[in-house]
Amino acid sequence: MRFDRAAAPHPQKTAPGAASSAAKRPPSDSPRLSSVHPLETPSPSDLEHVFVEGYGSREFDIEPASILEKTFRHGGWARRRRLIFDAMRRVGFRHHRLDNFAECGAGAWVMKRLDGQDLKIQSNCCHDRFCVPCGITRATTLTQNLKSQVKDMQPLFITLTLRHSSTPLKEQMDRLYRSFLVLRRRPFWLAAIKGGAAFFEVKISERDGLWHPHLHILADGRFIPKLELSIQWHSVTGDSSIVDIKRPRAAGEVAAYVTKYVTKPADSSVYEHPDKLDELLTTLRGRRLVATFGDWTKLKLTEILPDGHTWVPVMHLDELLHAAAAQEPAALDLLEALQRKYPSFANVLPLPPPPPVDTDF
């Protein structure tokens, strides 16, 4: 199906890839939506609260996102996003990072493949590790690269945990990473494991309310008996013996399961505790959450391969809403096409009702 009937970009909106200074904040009558992502219905205050007052020259300010753009990109996690943003401010994150996080999703354009066979939504992204939509994009890239790496093997899936402790999270994270490094240098590991990738995740224990940091590892090698791995891990850490190791058959499913932790460095249990959330943000600042080792060291997990197609801008998301509301045929066709590709798109941009029929004679 082709989409050539869509309208051309509005000259007042800047197409993706074009240089521009930041625009003024959208007026108070900007489009608001009553129904959004099925996971969550954000209130306008949740979306508007994540906002940084600009300062200095507008040439260096980040383009502000409209309510529609924020709803489209962040409607499904608006409340958690606000909690994270509040924590970022409390722990003193730099203005530029705050602004990037707040305006993620600005400049949302409908893009059409040059051959007219596909559509997508493209916008500015903050690439912050605590941003769920950006994390999903990053995880997709990681999953694709991991699937390519393990397609001809049956990898091991290993989990290493630390015994619960009341020590600060930073100390526990340092200890976890240091212990894993020592484990990898042991003869039993070198004889069994060729290489792999490790992913960090942290939870709050339901039992005692303490931090529960652990590593999920995807590795290439021969199977290590769980008891042997447990003994070796206890020997390294001095007090921790809880481990897990298995060799699933569906390597692609394992890659997807492991990389989901990239979308959320912490379990949902963390976000309802402001003190824990503050400690988490401070601890993870500048830390790597994904690392390769052994034969996988040179594996480029975050490399994005081009899709081989040329994409051109069609219409800004805000303009699409107004044009569809005005019953413009090209905009209605475009909106229907987007809803066919993304069924949940109807929750954000529903088709407007047809104009009332005049029955007076």
pLDDT tens string 155-210: 899 999 999 999 999 999 999 999 999 999 999 999 999 999 999 999 898 888 89
- The number of folded domains in the chain is 2
Structural domain boundaries, residue 174: 137-294
Say yes or no: 188 and 227 in one domain: yes
Examine the pLDDT at 6 and tell me if it is beyond 50: no
Token pair listed for 311? 């994409």
d(CA 353, CA 351): 6
Q: Is there a contact between 178 and 205 (Cβ–Cβ < 8 Å)?
A: no
Tens digit of each residue's pLDDT (9 = 90 or more) over 266-277: 888 888 889 999
d(CA 347, CA 170): 41
Say yes or no: 118 and 170 in one domain: no
Which helix or strand (DSSP H or E) is residue 213 part of?
Answer: strand 211-221
Examine the pLDDT at 40 and tell me if it is beyond 60: no
Say yes or no: 144 and 265 in one domain: yes
Give exposure, 168-202, as e/b (b: 16+ Cβ within 10 Å).
ebeebbebbbebbeebbeeeebeebbebbbbbbbb
Question: What is the reported pLDDT for 343?
Answer: 76
- Final residue in a domain of this structure, among 294, 316, 336: 294
Question: What is the reported pLDDT for 4?
Answer: 41
Say yes or no: 213 and 176 in one domain: yes
Say yes or no: 204 and 98 in one domain: no
Question: What is the reported pLDDT for 306?
Answer: 78
Say yes or no: 164 and 285 in one domain: yes
Say yes or no: 183 and 330 in one domain: no
Residue 27 belongs to some domain of the structure:
no
Examine the pLDDT at 262 and tell me if it is beyond 70: no
- CA 218 to chain centroid, in Å, comes to 20
**Which residues lie closer than 8 Å to 144 by C-beta, 6 or more apart?**
305
Say yes or no: 311 and 263 in one domain: no
Report the DSSP pairing between strands 119-122 and 290-294: unpaired
User: Once rounded to an integer, what is the mean pLDDT over residues 11-19?
Assistant: 49
- Final residue in a domain of this structure, among 269, 294, 319: 294
Q: Is there a contact between 197 and 262 (Cβ–Cβ < 8 Å)?
A: no
Report the DSSP pairing between strands 119-122 and 211-221: unpaired
- Final residue in a domain of this structure, among 294, 325, 356: 294
Residue 79 belongs to some domain of the structure:
yes
Q: What is the CATH number of the domain that holds 177?
A: 3.40.1310
Tens digit of each residue's pLDDT (9 = 90 or more) over 269-323: 888 889 999 999 999 998 999 999 999 999 888 888 777 889 999 999 889 988 9
CB-CB neighbours of 218 under 10 Å: 24
Share of the chain above pLDDT 90, in %: 42
Instruction: Strand 109-113: give its sheet, edge to edge.
Output: 119-122, 109-113, 311-316
Say yes or no: 90 and 203 in one domain: no
**Which residues lie closer than 8 Å to 197 by C-beta, 6 or more apart?**
146, 217, 218, 219, 258, 290, 291, 292, 293, 296, 299, 301
Residue 94 belongs to some domain of the structure:
yes
Residue 32 belongs to some domain of the structure:
no
Residue 14 belongs to some domain of the structure:
no
Say yes or no: 144 and 289 in one domain: yes
Token pair listed for 195? 């290489």
Helical spans, DSSP H, in the chain: 44-49, 67-74, 78-90, 95-102, 132-150, 169-184, 187-192, 226-237, 251-263, 274-284, 317-325, 329-341, 345-348
Residue with tokens 């507008």: 58
Residue with tokens 């900007």: 30
Say yes or no: 51 and 122 in one domain: yes
Instruction: Strand 193-204: give its sheet, edge to edge.
Output: 243-246, 156-161, 211-221, 193-204, 290-294
pLDDT confidence band for 43 (50 / 70 / 90)? low
d(CA 183, CA 198): 13
Question: What is the reported pLDDT for 263?
Answer: 63
Token pair listed for 17? 């890839």
Question: What is the reported pLDDT for 88?
Answer: 95
DSSP characters over 85-131: HHHHHHTT--HHHHHHHHTTT-S-EEEEETTSS-EEEE------TT-
Residue 5 belongs to some domain of the structure:
no
Residue 359 belongs to some domain of the structure:
no
Residue 19 belongs to some domain of the structure:
no
Give the CA count within 13 Å in the CB-facing half-sphere of 1.
Answer: 11
Q: Is there a contact between 130 and 264 (Cβ–Cβ < 8 Å)?
A: no
Tens digit of each residue's pLDDT (9 = 90 or more) over 103-146: 999 999 999 999 888 999 999 999 999 998 998 888 888 888 88
SS (HEC) of 228-262: HHHHHHHHHHCCCCCEEEECCCCHHHHHHHHHHHH
pTM equals: 0.80
Say yes or no: 142 and 281 in one domain: yes
